[in-house]
Structure 1
């Protein structure tokens, strides 16, 4: 007997249901220090929130969002500052904790 399975593409955006999960996801991406991954993560969150809604709330065109937040994208600081409130998050800083000898 032959069984067939249907495989679906995995999309992280399908699992980001609330602002707490989104904040944790973005924090983890920022901690990598990998600009391409951070842009990708911002794109995932924008898809989870709805790209059209993010574009409208941020004043950034959908085309620029897709381009900036793709795997090859490199969003400017200006773009990031515009879209972060639309994603329901803010950028904060904290001091690095140095290990004591």
Structure 2
């Protein structure tokens, strides 16, 4: 019987279009609750899908700093999050929460 090889899941491989990226971020924001690191990590996935080097140029932030800030382990400022979202072409859209 043949050997089955498994690969580690990489979300980035499935973020092909802008719509994929926005739907992914929306789903992550729904699940995250108040977990800012989870949202930062989701933005990191989108940033890797789009290209971290280009994002660094557009935000004026260092590539290594972006990797760290958006890893889920970092603690990016809200200003950094807004810069990243703007460079990725994603708007922050507030709406009333029905709790």
Q: Give the TM-score, by structure 1 length.
A: 0.87
Deviations 1:32-56 (A, max 9, x none): 2221211110110011101111111
Task: Check the 8 A contact 1:13/1:45 in 2, yes or no.
Answer: yes
The answer for the alignment partner of 1:12 in structure 2 is: 11
Task: Check the 8 A contact 1:67/1:73 in 2, yes or no.
Answer: yes
What is the rounded CA distance, in whole Å, between the counterparts of 1:92 and 1:71 in structure 2? 22
Task: Check the 8 A contact 1:60/1:82 in 2, yes or no.
Answer: no
Query: Shift of the alpha carbon at 1:5?
Result: 2.2
What is the rounded CA distance, in whole Å, between the counterparts of 1:19 and 1:71 in structure 2? 22
Query: What secondary structure is seen at the aligned counterpart in 2 of 1:95?
Result: coil
Q: What is the count of residue pairs matched by the alignment?
A: 97
Gaps of 5+ in 1: none
The answer for the alignment partner of 2:25 in structure 1 is: 26
Bigger Rg, structure 1 or 2 = 1
What is the rounded CA distance, in whole Å, between the counterparts of 1:5 and 1:92 in structure 2? 44
- Runs of at least 4 residues off by over 3 Å: none
Task: Check the 8 A contact 1:29/1:38 in 2, yes or no.
Answer: yes
Task: Check the 8 A contact 1:58/1:86 in 2, yes or no.
Answer: yes
Q: Give the TM-score, by structure 2 length.
A: 0.88
